[in-house]
Amino acid sequence: METVTAIKSKMSALLAFAFSVFMSIFSFAQDTAGGVVTTENSTTTTTEWYANPVYIIGGAIVLIVIIALIARSGRRD
């Protein structure tokens, strides 16, 4: 029985390693030459919402709060 547990543990570690390697490959494969997307008009310049760091930081804070609430709801004291 210890062998099965050891194999499951090794397979879990291998899967986590493979996932992290593939995600790093995908992240390095992104095109960085484009930069910030702006559309220029004769009177105004608009920037896409996803290029604004305020939205990225706000989204990260909301995600952390949601994860904290989910983790806290698992405990029944």
Whether 37 and 47 have beta carbons less than 8 Å apart is answered as yes
Residue 35, Ramachandran bin (φ over 0: left; ψ between -120 and 50: alpha; else beta): left
Q: Do residues 44 and 69 both lie within one domain? A: yes
Half-sphere exposure of 39 toward its Cβ, with a 13 Å CA cutoff? 3
Q: Do residues 38 and 24 both lie within one domain? A: no
pLDDT, position 25: 79
> pLDDT of 18-54, one tens digit each?
888 888 877 776 655 656 666 666 666 667 877 888 8
Question: pTM for this structure?
Answer: 0.37
Q: Do residues 62 and 39 both lie within one domain? A: yes
User: Does pLDDT of 62 surpass 80?
Assistant: yes
pLDDT, position 67: 92
> pLDDT of 7-21, one tens digit each?
888 888 888 888 888
